[in-house]
Structure 1
Amino acid sequence: MSLVVLGINHKTASVDLREKVAFSVEQHENALKQMLNSSVFLETVIVSTCNRTEVYCILEENNPQILLSWLAHFHKLTETELSQHTYCYTDTQAISHVMRVACGLDSLVLGEPQILGQIKQAYQTSKSLSCVGVLLERLFQKTFSVAKQVRTETDIGASAVSVAYAAVSLAKHIYGKLDKIKVLLIGAGETIELVARHLQQNGCVNMTVANRTVSKAQVVAAEFNANVVSLAQVPEQLIQSDIVISSTASTLPIIGKGVVEQALKARRYKPMLFVDIAVPRDIESQVGELDDAYLYTVDDLQAIVNQNVQSRLKAAEEAEAIIVLKVAEFEVWLKSLDAVDLIRVYRQQVDEIKNELIERATAQLSAGKPAEKVILELANKLSNRLMHAPTRSIKQAAESGELAQLVQLKNVLGIDE
């Protein structure tokens, strides 16, 4: 048996190809059922996200090409096209890889935590369809334990390494809890959507999305149960907002110093945080001159991000050291499993010999043969049968001059001088 990982990710393939190899929910289950019914794939877990698709398998034979052929056929692609953009790891490398992925060390954003949840979901799906056996069960439980240890003992996820996350981290640092804070998001693109997701994860429940095209704002707002306004309504919305985060494609500023002054006056000068992550700027730089308005630009956030990236790189080194130890622990378990299998097979062979000789002795006793002779014959035959293989190995080692093997056989057989 062999553990194999075949994958494709943001480092090896374009979005177009990754989309072709990704598994929808229905495809995911169909693929697992198909592999379950095959004698080639003994155990399987499929991880499929926007940035990666990976298939973890226990194969009957160490032949990763079988897995590549299956993946290409399932998604109606050629093996040549797929092989140029995939990576494959077996055994020790495969164990290390799944642990690194779960810890966020192989992610587009170093240390991001979402991948662990996605792997857990993939594992549960496979388990529910009886595609997880002893080996993958132990591997993934070990992996989840390693990921938890890395999160606990290192700072791999402690610092913001995306501008969107940095914006939310800044807001949380200033306001503490965000559950009672009112946030105005200006724009409806990917960045604002990511900001909204981070806000929601940090307890923010009062968000409003403003956009030139209201229908686009409604799409983003629907996911986060947020309110929707047009850009024309932004001035009056400012009065109610504690935090304003803006990211549009506008070539001219959307918020000027004058409208902020009016909002602050209406708020009785209750402080406001402005985070402008647009290029060109959405908020006039003069807004930062106002006493109760605190303006941060994309450059300010990028400086935080760059500093935090260095912090995560150091944490990643610590995580790698933990993974090396845990891979070694898992391999020790695998070797013990081999020993268990060897003992089981050996015991089975001995039992077969024993049962065969007992059956023969019983027949002899039934035929009236003296019990003393039957017992003696049983003992002699059992001794001879059990000694046959060790005796042959000892003779072969002696004839070949394999002294080390002779010593090992002596220890295994418990032979005293």
Structure 2
Amino acid sequence: MTLLALGINHNTAALDVRERVAFAPEQMQDALAQLCEQPGVEESAILSTCNRTELYVQLDGSADEGTQQLLHWLATYHKLQPEDLASCHYCHDGATAIGHMMSVAAGLDSLVLGEPQILGQMKSAYSVACDAGSVGRFLHNAFHQIFAIAKRVRTETAIGENPVSVAYAAVSLAQQIFADLRRETALLVGAGETIELVAQHLSQQGVGKLIVANRTLERASQLAERFAAEAILLADIPEHLHRADVVITSTASQLPLLGKGAVESALKKRRHKPMFMVDIAVPRDIEPEVGDLSDVYLYSVDDLREVIDENRRTREEAAGKARTIIAEGIEQFQADLRALDSVATIRAYRQKAEALRDQELKKALRALESGVEPEKVLGQLARGLTNKLLHAPTSRIKQAGARGDSHIIDISHELFDLPQSDTREPAVPGAETPAADSDIKPGDL
């Protein structure tokens, strides 16, 4: 069994590629079902955010074959050619895969180092996979260890202090554009976690007025109530867009919500007073052509990199300690996998021993029923069981000695907890291994 983590992210693929490979929430159940139908795929989960799309798979097969298979499936599902992803994808297997997943969950692989949102997004991906029935024992154990390590990173390092996120970067950029946010009106499109963080940061900076637009008025109202904002529907945006000095969007829409025509109309009503717009959605909520308008300052997720890089430097020291914790997590995960292998061996050996015991016990009971003295029956039971339990290991040790394989002899010494003096005594010529069988016959006792 092989663990694979295959995907693209903000470091390997441009925004136009990432948005073509993103999975919408309503696609997840179908996508997971199709992924599990691929040859050799035993378990699967999919993480899809604005900055990455990753497939996590337990595969019955080689890593190389699995990589090509998953890459082909990902491209085919999104109606792309595999070569479109050939130069921008990555794939990790085994310990490297679990280490990558831990780094992602801890925020070490995020656009903003230490970003806390990704852990919630990964937990959501795991929950969706559980609901879809695509996660089994292996990935269950893997995800729980990943979440435990991410929690340790948050509690034992300073990587989560002074929250920094894409939302925070967007607000920081707005502060650079506007001298005083207290005089400005901000329109937030969407009502998810990212927009909630944007609203929180804007509120802390004392923004003059907040407007929250969402597909459902109920959700927009819930968020608006928290921040003394105004709630509107997405359909009402054209009527209110001219009021906004700052527009920040983050929805799961598969099509742009704001086009060049709508923004041009708003600018006319504003008498061409500039608008600052940040689109942090993937796929994009704002048509790229809007950026061509002379009175609009439009930024995408990728444009926030410079702001984010400055904040990244303050977290590098904490990241070093976090990587040490992740290394410990990888070691523990591998140890747990090895322990699972030993459990199967122990179970098989115990079952064999119990079967031998039952055989000897039946013989002893038959002897008792035939009138053999109990003391003789018990003695023969003990000898027979001992001989049968020792037959296979002593035969293998003798064969190893004949081959000169001292390694097996040393392991046997440790396995059976033998005194040191017993292990290097010279063999007695003609000595034989104890008999393997000891059938009890009334006439032999």
TM-score (norm 1): 0.66
Secondary structure of the 2:393 match is helix
Shift of 1:357: 4.3
Contact 1:4–1:56 at 8 Å: present in 2 too?
Answer: yes
2:99 matched residue in structure 1: 96
In structure 2, distance between residues paired with 1:155 and 1:146:
13
- 2:414 paired with 1:408: no
1:2 matched residue in structure 2: 2
1:275 matched residue in structure 2: none
Contact 2:42–2:60 at 8 Å: present in 1 too?
Answer: yes
1:12 matched residue in structure 2: 12
Structure 2 CA distance for partners of 1:397 and 1:5, relative to 1, 3 Å: same
In structure 2, distance between residues paired with 1:4 and 1:120:
18
> Which residue, 116, 126, 136 being the options, matches 1:123?
126
Structure 2 residues without counterparts, runs of 5 or longer: 222-230, 249-262, 275-292, 298-303, 422-445
In structure 2, distance between residues paired with 1:14 and 1:219:
27
1:65 matched residue in structure 2: 65
Contact 1:18–1:53 at 8 Å: present in 2 too?
Answer: yes
In structure 1, distance between residues paired with 2:305 and 2:9:
26
Structure 2 CA distance for partners of 1:364 and 1:69, relative to 1, 3 Å: farther
1:254 matched residue in structure 2: 273
Contact 1:200–1:224 at 8 Å: present in 2 too?
Answer: no
1:45 matched residue in structure 2: 45
Q: Deviations over 1:289-321 (max 9, x none)?
A: xxxxxxxxxxxx999755423102333223222
Structure 2 CA distance for partners of 1:63 and 1:380, relative to 1, 3 Å: farther
Q: Deviations over 1:95-136 (max 9, x none)?
A: 211110011211223222222111001111222344333332
Q: Which moved more, 1:64-73 or 1:43-52?
A: 64-73
Contact 1:47–1:54 at 8 Å: present in 2 too?
Answer: yes
Matching of residues 330-349 of structure 1 within 5 Å: 330-349=333-352
2:321 matched residue in structure 1: 318
Structure 1 residues without counterparts, runs of 5 or longer: 176-180, 210-216, 235-243, 256-278, 284-300
In structure 2, distance between residues paired with 1:124 and 1:323:
22
Contact 1:164–1:194 at 8 Å: present in 2 too?
Answer: no
TM-score (norm 2): 0.62
Contact 1:154–1:319 at 8 Å: present in 2 too?
Answer: no
In structure 2, distance between residues paired with 1:14 and 1:302:
12
In structure 2, distance between residues paired with 1:347 and 1:67:
39
In structure 2, distance between residues paired with 1:59 and 1:167:
44
Contact 2:99–2:326 at 8 Å: present in 1 too?
Answer: yes
Shift of 1:17: 4.3
Structure 2 CA distance for partners of 1:102 and 1:364, relative to 1, 3 Å: same
Shift of 1:408: 2.3
2:24 matched residue in structure 1: 24
Secondary structure of the 2:331 match is helix
- 2:206 paired with 1:200: no
1:154 matched residue in structure 2: 158
Contact 2:114–2:315 at 8 Å: present in 1 too?
Answer: yes
Identical positions, percent: 33
Structure 2 CA distance for partners of 1:303 and 1:125, relative to 1, 3 Å: closer
Q: Which moved more, 1:199-208 or 1:27-36?
A: 199-208
